[in-house]
Amino acid sequence: MTTLPFDTQNIRWNKIEGIDHLAYHILAVDEAKRIVDILFKFDANAKIVLHRHKADYITLVLQGELRIYRPNGTLKEIRPVGSYVTGSADGEPHTEGGGEQDVIAFFSNRNVQNVVYEILDESLNTIATFGIAEFKALLDAQVPQPTTIVS
């Protein structure tokens, strides 16, 4: 089902080499509170890399429907626009992606110890990790958002 588009005219999307079908915009990295907030855009009819969440998280789907797949590729869950879901660290490895349109979702990673995401190979071996340090570096390299207009 196609949903109304989320206005991204002031969002500057970024890519990570080697992770296809995904764009991101980091909103905040709070090292003291152990929080990493990110907007993700998942391509329609595509899946991102197999991964596992290593921190508690909250998601809010802002556009489209987020599809979650088990490691074997079978569809596990569809989260329609407006879905607000909380999850715990160390859940089942999975891939995810868009339905018939690109999906935009807000992810708030909480209680981050070191690692936010483990990137896995098909045998569920960890091949890369993204933690607070990596997201802080990505945030620092990101082109700043337009500033708030005050009149």
Query: Is pTM beyond 0.85 here?
Result: yes
Cβ contact 112:131 at 8 Å: yes
Closest CA to 44 of 2, 107, 81, 16: 2
Residue 140 has pLDDT above 70, yes or no: yes
Could you write out the DSSP letters of every residue in 38-88?
EEEEEPTT-----EEE-SEEEEEEEES-EEEE-TTS-EEEEE-TT-EEEE-
The pLDDT tens digits of the residues spanning 111-138 come to 999 999 999 999 999 999 999 999 999 9
Domains of the chain plus CATH, in order, are 25-141 (2.60.120.10)
pLDDT band at 62; cut points 50, 70, 90: very high
Percent of the chain predicted with pLDDT > 70: 95
| Tokens describing residue 2 | 């196609």
The pLDDT tens digits of the residues spanning 37-49 come to 999 999 999 999 9
CA distance 109 to 57: 4
Residue 148 has pLDDT above 70, yes or no: no
The pLDDT tens digits of the residues spanning 68-104 come to 999 999 999 999 999 999 999 999 999 999 999 999 9
The pLDDT tens digits of the residues spanning 12-57 come to 999 999 999 999 999 999 999 999 999 999 999 999 999 999 999 9
Beta bridge pairs of residue 60: 84, 106
Distinct helix (H) and strand (E) counts, the chain: 1, 11
